Structures are given as structure tokens and as C-alpha cells.
Structure 1
Amino acid sequence: MTINDPTPAESAMTSGATLELVGVTKAFGDFVAVQDVSFVVKPGSLVALLGPSGCGKTTMLRMIVGLETPSSGSVLFDARDVSALGPGERGAGLVFQDYAIFPHLTVSENLGFALKMRGDSPAEQQEVVKELAAALELTALLKKKPRSLNPSELQRVSIGRALAARPAIMLFDEPLSNVEAGMRTRMRAELRTLHKAFGQTAVYVTHDQTEAMALADRVAVMNRGRLVQFGAPRELYDRPADAFVAGFIGTPPMNLLDVEATEGRAYAGSLSVPIPQGLRRGDARWQLGFRPEHTRLSLAPDHNEVARGQVVAIEPMGAEVTVTVAGKGWQVAALLDEADRADLTEDASVSVVVDASHLHWFHPDGPRDFAADTRAQEGAVAH
């Protein structure tokens, strides 16, 4: 090995493969768990598969790793069709939510397990384990058994054991779901730092939208077996493809109201807003959405109000507070700074004000279907 050659551990830290799914479908009898999903994960990027329980994300992960075979469509690693190959033939590493670490082995032995099974020499095993331990801040723990480690350390051992096999793609199956809330935030930051350091292509399965938005370069939102939207976290937040994505992304979730369009305005009970030009033709029923953080409340009447209602709940959240307001035929939440709600009390009568640029319109039967330039002309968010 020359001075310029990468060490075995450095080879494990290089960017992984391109992952591509082309029209992937998986059916179990009459039940279709995943239907016609296609997307590309670029080398070195992290994509989160996000959605509620039963949406198909775990089945998708199992098809990528090779534990399930697609009913149709293809899974490609660096343009090579691996759809019919088993897990051991694909070169994918899998990190489980329960860590899947051998309890009777030390940290060092766990990190080197895949290398030993592959037949690497003891010297090669030792070199990789040493360098992975240094990168994962596990050096001081190499002689310890898993029972003496905290969740963060266990997760790093699990990641290191997967990385030691030099996978083309790293797959994470809800690795933080069993971690207490206080540590989960810190471990998200650790995972993001580790991903940047190792540069592996990664797919991260989660039902937690905060986790997905914080970790991923791109998010694939799944619902009922279908890929609903694929894009950067900010794109999903600013321009959700449909009402499902709008309600799933963001905390608190977007306010969504069924409205009826008539004579240039849309109504949900006593709440009403002007209708963008693109909606003034065709269907009369839509879903109107606006985020709590884009909702302003005023004790005094406001000529820009969309409705006047009554405060029914005030929920302090540290520096912010969620205020729920209800009126005839509607209820919405507003996210305010603590200072902005100082004069608000439950049962107070308030004006609800939302700027037109923050209104989202969704067709009740599916994704948006009117031109973005029409929305732009109305001064609203393009959909």
C-alpha cells in the first residue's frame, strides 16, 4: 500500500452507488403494498422514505435491500439491475431500529464481524475497526459489551458494523423509533454528521416528518403504496403536491378546510377568501390550506380578516404558543410568538388574517391541477 492508497476504512467511507427505482410494484395476493414507484437517489445523498404506518415504506426498503422481490419494475444499483439478487449479493448495509448487535461480543468484535465472516486477515480487520471506531468516537468503548452502552453508542456501533462491510448503499429502518425524545434530537444531529463524514448513499425510513426534514437531502412521501411527492424538504413544505403532503409535513400541521367556491369567493362556513383566477372555472369544491405560522390573530376587527371567531384553546410551547380558533363551520390553529399572544385569552373574539400569498388550494380528488403561472399572477404560492 502506497502513501496515496486509501486505507480499508477510508474505502468504506467513500460515496456509494446511485440507487434507482423504476416502476416498482409489490403485491401480496390481491393487496398492492407498493404501486409503480420511481425515483433516483444520487451518490452520497440521503433520501428519507416518509409516511404513516402501512403506507409501503418498509416494503420499499425490503425490496431495496433484497428481502423482497418486486412484482414488477426494477431496482438498480449504479445502473445494474439487482431486483432478483439476494441481500448478500447487492452490497447494501442495513441498520435496524433495535440495533441488531450481538450482545455477547465486544464493540470491537461487533464492528469487525462482517470482516471476519468475509475472511479478511486479522490485521485488515484490526485496521478497519480502529479507523471506524475513531470516526464514530467509539475508541474508548472497543472492549465494552453492548449492555454497558447508551442508545447513542449502540446506534453508532450498529452503523459502524454496517459500514465495515463497505456497502454501496446504507439503509436505515426507523433507527431512532425506540429512543427517548430528549436523546432523539441529539442522535439526529449525530446521524447527519456521520452521513456527511462517510458520504454513503443512504435511504432512511421513518414515520416522523421532523426526522425526515432534519436529516434528508430529499424526501419521498408515501401514502397508500404510492409515491405522492419527491423533493427537497423545503419544497415539500412550501409547495406540497396535495392535501395529504400538506397535512403530513409541518408542526403544527397545516390548516385544511373543505370550501365551496361561488361568485369569486370560497367559503367554509363563516370563513371566506377570494378565489384565485385559476379556480374560477370548473369544480366548485376545493380544499383550502394555510399553515398555523402564517396565521395572524387580532383582537380588533381587521379589514383583511378571512373570518372572526373565538379562541377555544391556548397551548404554550416554550417560545411559541398554538392558539386554536373556531367559528361557524370551521376551526383553525395559529402559531404565535409568546409576545404576540400576550393579550389573548380563551373565549376571546379575534380576527383571523392570512395573506393570500400563503393560501394553498387542493383538489379534493387528488393533486393540484391548475397552472403555476395562474397562481403566480394572483400573488400566491405556485401550485
Structure 2
Amino acid sequence: MVKQWGKQDKNDRRGQFFGLRRVAAVNAIAFVLALVSFGPAARGHEVVPSVADMTLVDGALAFDVQANLESFVAGIDLSGVHDTGEAADTSAYDALRAMPPEDLEARFRAFWPQMAAQITIRSDQGDLEPELTGVEIPSIENTELARPSVLRFRAALPAGATTVQVGWAAPLGVLVLRQQGVEEPYSGYLEGGTISPPIELPTGSRAASWQAFADFVPIGFRQMVPLGLDHVLFVLGLLLLARQIRPLLWQVAAFTLAHSATLVLGSLGYLAVPSAIVEPLIAVSIVYVAAENIFAGGSSRWRLPLVFGFGLVHGLGLASVLEEFGMPERNVLPALLGFNAGVELGQLAVILTAFLLVGLWFRDKSWYRPVIAIPASAGGGLIGAWWFFERVLL
């Protein structure tokens, strides 16, 4: 009788083992398909803020705005999406992206009256009407990337006007507004649908240091969640292999220290590396962490220094993003610290969320790797490999 029960237990365990393998296989396929289908699209169509430089010239306000004009003309509501691929109908947007510059300019000029109605320019003497003065649209290089065009408009000031407020409607998305040509220039990050505080025209209205810090915290957070999918995948890769909190904290600390250092140096102009080198290396970092998670039983002695090295690369990538926003000249350090604080908060949110979702599985070491760690790492590694191919060859 004892032998029969022993044989039955052995068969049960064998059945559980093969059942576990089937579950792992299904999970692996699901992770890979979900991540691969989401990953590439998330890079090429990110919604980025419009950046407007405002200058007082001969009794009028002149605006130079770098923006994604295709999204405006296509009628995409940028307040409700983080990626243009999330819009209900992207066919019009994709068609506009493929247009030569002269055709897109003609379409935008026809659209301008609708956009002008969504722009608010309000002085202390009354509202101002924006007048289109020029459009610059670069040639098509890669339709998978947003085309950074420039539109120019002006608004004549009424006599006696000393302050102005600027904003635009929520569907136009976020606006980074920078005042030029004054001693204390205003610089602000305006969510779509909001309006700036009154800006002094003769002298400027530089925000306090604490305000500059606070303005750039959400920018940094947004560059990690939801826009920084490459940084998120790297951090999640660290979490997937670490079964204990101490080694994970060491790795996250090394990554944080490294990317903070190069973020500061890159943003201040002391360190410059072309994005053609930085972006593929970020993809390589994701592939490396994924491969080690899959093929190594535990962290190698080289993992911590490699994480630090890859952190230096990720920091350069974040610095290039911050450069697109343009930091306020008189509040560079507070803005930089605020951006970095936002990045760290976003990173912490990712780690805590992932740890809460999979932390309970760490207790059962026998099936955590095949069911959770390996499938998720495989999905992340495939996305990293695709990004490397995309960034080097496409």
C-alpha cells in the first residue's frame, strides 16, 4: 500500500511539473506578444509638448512654436492620449506625416483659423488676436518619428498693455512657454486648457526657485511614466531577477546615482554624446538584463557595475529629453533638480507597483522563474532587440 501511494505521489508531482511547464509556456507567449505589440509603437509616436518662445518686438508679441503640426491638423485630442497611436483614428495623422513639406504647409494654413480660435493671448488691456506669420516644416526623414515643425505667429499689443497671459485649449496638449529678451524671463509648463499667470512684458516674471522645481517634477515623472518605456523595462528587468530586497536596492541605487550624474552633466552642457550612440546602447542594456535574467541562476558579480554603467547611458538619454523642453535660464538648477526628482518618483512608482504585483510570488522559488521572471524577461529582451535594430538600421 505504501508503494502504491508513493507511486501515485510521484505521478502527481510529474503531472504538476508538466502542467507548470504548460503554464509557463502560455505565460511566455502572452508576455512576449503583449510587450512586442506595445513596445515598438510606444517609441515612435510619443506625444511631446509644444515649446513656444515669446518675444516683445515693435509693440507686438512674436511667438516661435516648435510643435507636431500633423497632430493638430488631424484633430487628435492630445489631452487624452500619451501616444498618437492611442487615438481613435490615426489614418489621417499617418497620411499627414507622409506628406512633403509644401503639402503639409498648405493643409496647416487652411487649418490655422481653427487653431487660432484655441489660442488665448490676454493682456491687461484686453484679448489679442494671433496672426500667422510663417511655417517651417522639415523634409521627411523617418515617418516613424514625429516631425518637429515650427509655426510663427504674432499678436499686436493694445496701447498701455504691461502684462499678458498665454494658454491654449486642452486638445492642443501641453505647452512649454518661454519668454525671451528680458532680464527676468518667465518660463512655465502649462497643461492643455490652462493659462499662464500674468507675465510682465518690460521686465519679465521669473518664477521663484521653488516654483521652477515644482513645475519640472511632473515633467520628470511623465518621462518615466508613461513615456519612458525603455527606462521602465530596464528597471523591471532588475526587479525580475532579484529575489531579495537588499540586492535590488543596491542595483536601483547604482542605477539612480549613475543616471542622475549624467543627467546633470548632460543638461548643463558638460557632457555630450550623440543620440545615435545613446539610444542603441539603452536598447542593449534592456537586452543584457533580460538575457542574464533568463540564462543566469542569480546575479553575477559584474551585474552591479554593469547596472551603474548602463545607468550612465540612461541619464544621457534623459538629458536629451530635458534639452527639448529648455530650462529657464535663471532657474536652471531648481528645474534640473525638479526634473530628476520626478524621474526618481516615477521609477519608485514602477518598482513599488511591480513588487506589489509579483512580490508574493517570490516566496515560491520553484516556479517564480519559469512562470514570471523568464517570460517577462523574454518579452522585454525582444523589445530591446527590436529597438536596437530600429535605432541602428531604420
More strand by share: 1
- Structure of higher RCO (CA pairs closer than 8 Å, 6+ residues apart): 2
More helix by share: 2
TM range (shorter): under 0.3
